[in-house]
Amino acid sequence: MKTLFQNGIVVNSNLSAELDILVENQLITGLFQRGTFIDSDSANTTVVDATGLHILPGGVDPHCHVGFTSGQFTSLDNYEEATRAAVCGGTTTIVDFAIPELGESSLEALMRQKKRIHNSFCDSAMHGCIVNLNSDVNEIVSEFEAQGVRTIKMFTTYRGEVMANSETIMEVMKGLLKIGGMVYVHSEADHIISENQLVAIQNNQIDSSFHHRTRSELAETISVAEVIAMAETIGAPVYFVHQSCRGAVDQVAHSKAFGRSVFSESVLHHLVLDDSVYESENPERFVCCPPIRSRETVDALLEVLKNGDVDTLGSDHCCYNLEQKELVKHDVRYMPNGLPGVETRISVGLGKLVMQWGLPIERFVAISSTNPAKLNGLFPKKGIIAPGSDADIVLWDLNSKHTITGTSLHMATDYTPYEGIETSAKHIATYVRGTIVAKNSQPLEKNKIGKFISAEMINFNLK
Ligand SMILES: [Zn+2]
């Protein structure tokens, strides 16, 4: 069977064009000027009419936590739930994290998390995570490579849990050079945050309405500076997750200007929300790390996004519900950090960043699909509509205004941080390797065809 997508506007990271797409055996096999494909075998071809619609490569979410345990809390979704929400929101590949729990080795964490992958609606890949090095880094890195993993998450904060020291981060950076991999760093200086929190406790300001004051921008920027210095010293690439302020992104841009492979990820909530959410009735719903920043910082971040200094857009999806968010809202040090977002990353992103703020749609495809595919070793299988690539295809109507409500979403939680936000991007259909898995924001339950995808050597060229 073949599928022909006709009359739509195909958007890749480098251009938009009126093209028809031919799909056979899970792959894109041809792109044709609109109306020029002559089908000699039309009885065996399903035609999808995309008149008036934009056709984007399936979203690749580089930052998505599935069933993540931290402290006393575990986020609520399994692979079936997380990927159901992903495809209803136009994402066709998620990259999850295998973060060791207390007493678990990095490799044990990876095997445990990989075992959870079943009943998926879309494909997935995995980041490893190293906290301590208990054996030779080259051995560990080769084992990750054999498991299809070339990206390793490391933290400069959460002392006593997942924080790695600087020496360990440098060792892992070196080790990954040998397999064409890269360290993904959560950069916030732990000692600065400890001081921020100490002052907050003294002032009786440690509840969730003060969350943004307990993790300063300075804590983020100073940590980014140190990690860039490590990477430059070794000559290793590095990727910063969820950069929340201009000071952090600017340092990456500066290093990039010298030809270095340094990358900046934004997550949607840092671009769409501002710290007035902590003055709302339910500030605990917005507790995430780094926190939601001031209006001034958000505007500056949007500016560097438009300048082209932000490389990827993640969700940092972490699916806690209101009961979990409310349990220790009086003390942010013990709260579950993170917001649900795998389903809203593209729809709210298209509505806000592209339709409202004028980010070119090709650039949006670059940061939400193409670049994450490249920086996870998944390109050109994922992240582009081109012959030879997986037929991961999403149809959008960009002129259909509607309001985001938590009750219409599929994530395993009972709220969305984007409640009441207007978007003009309406999901029409998601195809994973040629099979339709969601239609009009609703899943097709029988089509759970997702599988784990191994990372190849990373393509650091985002041009
Ligand atoms: Zn995260």
pLDDT in tens, 335-371: 999 999 999 999 999 999 999 999 999 999 999 999 9
Confidence of residue 70 (pLDDT cuts 50, 70, 90): confident
180: left (phi over 0), alpha (psi -120 to 50) or beta: left
* pLDDT score of 65: 98
pLDDT tens readout for residues 377-422:
999 999 999 999 999 999 999 999 999 999 999 999 999 999 999 9
The pLDDT confidence band at residue 150, using thresholds 50, 70 and 90, is very high
Q: Tell how far the Cα of 28 is from the centroid of ligand 1, in angstroms.
A: 32
Q: How far apart are CA 396 and CA 49, in angstroms?
A: 12
pLDDT class of 40 with cuts at 50, 70, 90: confident
pTM attached to this predicted model: 0.97
Could you report the per-residue pLDDT of 206-243, keeping only the tens digit for each? Answer: 999 999 999 999 999 999 999 999 999 999 999 999 99
Buried-state track 351-368, b at ≥16 Cβ within 10 A, e below 16: bbbbbeeebebebbbbbb
State the distance from the centre of ligand 1 to the C-alpha of 65, rounded, in angstroms.
7
**Which one is the CATH code of 58-374: 3.40.50.2300, 3.90.550.10, 3.40.50.1000, 3.20.20.140?**
3.20.20.140
- For residue 191, the CA-to-ligand 1 centroid distance in Å is 20
- Residue 232, CA distances (Å) to 32, 252, 260 in order: 44, 11, 8
CATH topology of domain 2-56+387-398+423-443: Urease, subunit C; domain 1 (2.30.40)
Listed by start position, the domains of the chain span: 2-56+387-398+423-443, 58-374
Query: From the CA of 408, how far away is ligand 1's center (Å)?
Result: 24
* 74 CA → ligand 1 middle, Å: 13
CB 48 within 8 A of CB 30: no
Tell me how far the alpha carbon of residue 184 lies from the centroid of ligand 1, in angstroms.
10
Residue type for 266, please?
S
Ligand 1 centroid vs 357 CA: distance in angstroms? 26
Q: Quick one: pLDDT band at residue 11, thresholds 50, 70, 90?
A: very high
Alpha carbon of 267 to ligand 1 centroid (Å)? 10
Among positive and negative, which fits the CA dihedral 33, 38, 44, 50? positive
CA of 127 to the centre of ligand 1 (A): 11
Q: Which residues lie closer than 8 Å to 17 by C-beta, 6 or more apart?
A: 9, 10
| Centre of ligand 1 from the C-alpha of residue 45, in Å | 42
Mean pLDDT value across the chain:
96
Output the six-digit token pair for 357.
């703020």
Could you report the per-residue pLDDT of 428-440, keeping only the tens digit for each?
999 999 999 999 9
Tell whether the model's pLDDT for residue 41 goes beyond 90.
no
Q: How far is the CA of 186 from the centre of ligand 1 (A)?
A: 8
How far away, in angstroms, is 19 Cα from ligand 1 center?
Answer: 37
C-alpha span between 321 and 340 (Å, rounded): 9
Confidence of residue 289 (pLDDT cuts 50, 70, 90): very high
Ligand 1 centroid distance, CA of 351 (Å): 23
Residue 108 has pLDDT above 90, yes or no: yes
Write the pLDDT tens digit of every residue in 258-288.
999 999 999 999 999 999 999 999 999 999 9
Q: By C-alpha distance, which of 218, 321, 215 is closest to 278? A: 215
The pLDDT assigned to 71 comes to 84
Tokens found for residue 54: 């934009």
Q: Is the pLDDT of residue 1 over 90?
A: no
Instruction: Report CA(100)–ligand 1 centroid distance (Å).
Output: 14
Three-state SS for the chain is CEEEEECCEEECCCCEEEEEEEEECCEEEEEEECCCCCCCCHHHEEEEECCCCEEEECEEECCECCCCEECCEECCCCHHHHHHHHHHCCEEEEEEECCCCCCCCHHHHHHHHHHCCCCCCCEEEEEEECCCCCCCHHHHHHHHHHCCCCEEEEECCCCCCCECCHHHHHHHHHHHHCCCCEEEEECCCHHHHHHHHHHHHHCCCCCHHHHHHHCCHHHHHHHHHHHHHHHHHHCCCEEECCCCCHHHHHHHHHHHHCCCCEEEEEEHHHHHCCHHHHHCCCHHHHCCCCCCCCHHHHHHHHHHHHHCCCCEEECCECCCCHHHHHHCCCCHHHCCCCECCCCCHHHHHHHHHHHHCCCCHHHHHHHHHHHHHHCCCCCCCCCCCCCCCECCEEEEECCCCEECCHHHCCCCCCCCCCCCCEECCEEEEEEECCEEEEECCEECCCCCCCCECCCCCCCCCCC
Q: Give the Å distance between the CA of 316 and the centre of ligand 1.
A: 5
Distance, CA 30 to ligand 1 centroid (Å)?
37
How many whole angstroms from 48 Cα to the centroid of ligand 1?
Answer: 37
The share of the chain scoring above pLDDT 90, in percent, equals 96
CA angle at 172 for the pair 167 and 177, rounded to the nearest 5°: 130
Tokens found for residue 18: 């009126």
Cα of 3 vs centre of ligand 1, distance in Å, is 37
Which residues, listed in sequence order, are joined to residue 10 by a DSSP beta bridge? Answer: 17, 55
Q: Separation of 20 CA from ligand 1 center, angstroms?
A: 37
pLDDT tens for 175-191 read: 999 999 999 999 999 99
Tokens 């498991």 belong to residue: 147
Centre of ligand 1 to C-alpha 294, Å, is 20
CA of 27 from ligand 1 middle (Å) equals: 31
CA of 92 to the centre of ligand 1 (A): 19
